[in-house]
Amino acid sequence: MFIDSHCHLSFPELRERLPEILQAMADAQVGQALCICTTLEEFDAVHALTKQPQLWATVGVHPDNEGVREPTLDDLLAGAARPRVVGIGETGLDYYRLEGRSLADMEWQRERFRTHIRAARQTDLPLVIHTRSASDDTLAILREEGGFAGQAAGGDVARGVFHCFTETEAVARAALDLGFYISLSGILTFRNAADLRDVARFVPMDRLLIETDSPYLAPVPFRGKTNTPALVPWVARQLAELRGMTVEEVAQATSANFHTLFNRVPAHPEPQASLQ
């Protein structure tokens, strides 16, 4: 069984096709998927997807989203208390589109990220981290806010996954040193992703997840088309080739890793519910 550790089924182009997508997942042996929240305005729609027993949810506000409701700690804690919410995020930092702003101008992103880390520590839920052109600050804030200095004393420590990883091996090593997982998307199959394939060989197998980030980043040979969780086995196929494993071994390992990290998700999903 495969697990898609990051998808956006609440986006209109996928939500309108939900019965078809769930059937395609079943046909592709994708047994579970984590539906990621990107705004508080979207959260109810994301959470509604969890009426389907194979779908789970997070609560958070994407670092790129401006002009939306800014999350408070209480907002995130309230969302995390709802049934079948198993992670905090998508959160992190994104400096890719500064549009004339300086890094100092992005303090609002850094404060938003800190709020999510505090929620994750209070709830003991994993963070789903997005970082783009901002890895140094992402890692620095995790070290400052994550509680790692108090780990030996038994304090709450941030944990989670760097999703859709496209950073360097050095960033991967730093994330691993903090106890985080690395999730690989369809980018792994792209012709120009040789450096990422090297990272995929480097990361220990027990710290890897796979995802689609659908509706984006469909893997080869579907590149340019709308992505869905049913295509996550193609990421597993590429990873299997890189690691000298069978696809079944990759599916088993990445699914076990998912359940270790998102430990509120049972390993054996309930029978599929009716969509009527």
Residue 26 has pLDDT above 80, yes or no: yes
Total-model pTM: 0.95
Residue range of the domain that includes 161: 2-261
Tell me whether residue 96 is in a domain.
yes
With a CB cutoff of 8 Å and minimum separation 6, the contacts of 75 are 40, 69
Tell me whether residue 88 is in a domain.
yes
Tell me the C-alpha distance between 114 and 76, whole Å: 12
With a CB cutoff of 8 Å and minimum separation 6, the contacts of 219 are 185, 186, 188, 189, 212, 227, 231, 234, 235, 238
CA proximity to 161, closest of 258, 84, 246:
258
Q: What pLDDT was estimated at residue 274?
A: 43
Tell me whether residue 46 is in a domain.
yes
- Grade residue 268 by pLDDT with cuts at 50, 70 and 90: confident
Mean pLDDT of 76-88: 98
SS3 of 160, please?
Answer: strand
Residue 192 has a CB neighbour count (10 Å cut-off) of: 7
Q: What pLDDT was estimated at residue 271?
A: 59
Interval 173-219: pLDDT, tens? 999 999 999 999 999 999 999 999 999 999 999 999 999 999 999 99
Tell me the C-alpha distance between 125 and 110, whole Å: 20
Tell me whether residue 143 is in a domain.
yes
Tell me whether residue 274 is in a domain.
no
Tell me whether residue 44 is in a domain.
yes
Nearest 5°: CA angle at 201, between 131 and 120? Answer: 35
Residue 276 has pLDDT above 50, yes or no: no
Tell me whether residue 76 is in a domain.
yes
Q: What pLDDT was estimated at residue 64?
A: 95
For a pLDDT cut of 90, what percent of the chain falls above it?
Answer: 93
Mean pLDDT of 37-63: 98
Tell me whether residue 266 is in a domain.
no
Mean pLDDT of 30-42: 98
Q: What pLDDT was estimated at residue 273?
A: 47
Residue 251 has a CB neighbour count (10 Å cut-off) of: 24
What's the number of domains the chain is made of? 1
Mean pLDDT of 109-138: 98
Q: What pLDDT was estimated at residue 150?
A: 65
Residue 20 has a CB neighbour count (10 Å cut-off) of: 13
CATH number for 163: 3.20.20.140
Interval 211-260: pLDDT, tens? 999 999 999 999 999 999 999 999 999 999 999 999 999 999 999 999 99
Q: Which helix (H) or strand (E) holds 189?
A: none
Average pLDDT, the chain: 95
Tell me the C-alpha distance between 86 and 262, whole Å: 6
Q: What pLDDT was estimated at residue 275?
A: 41
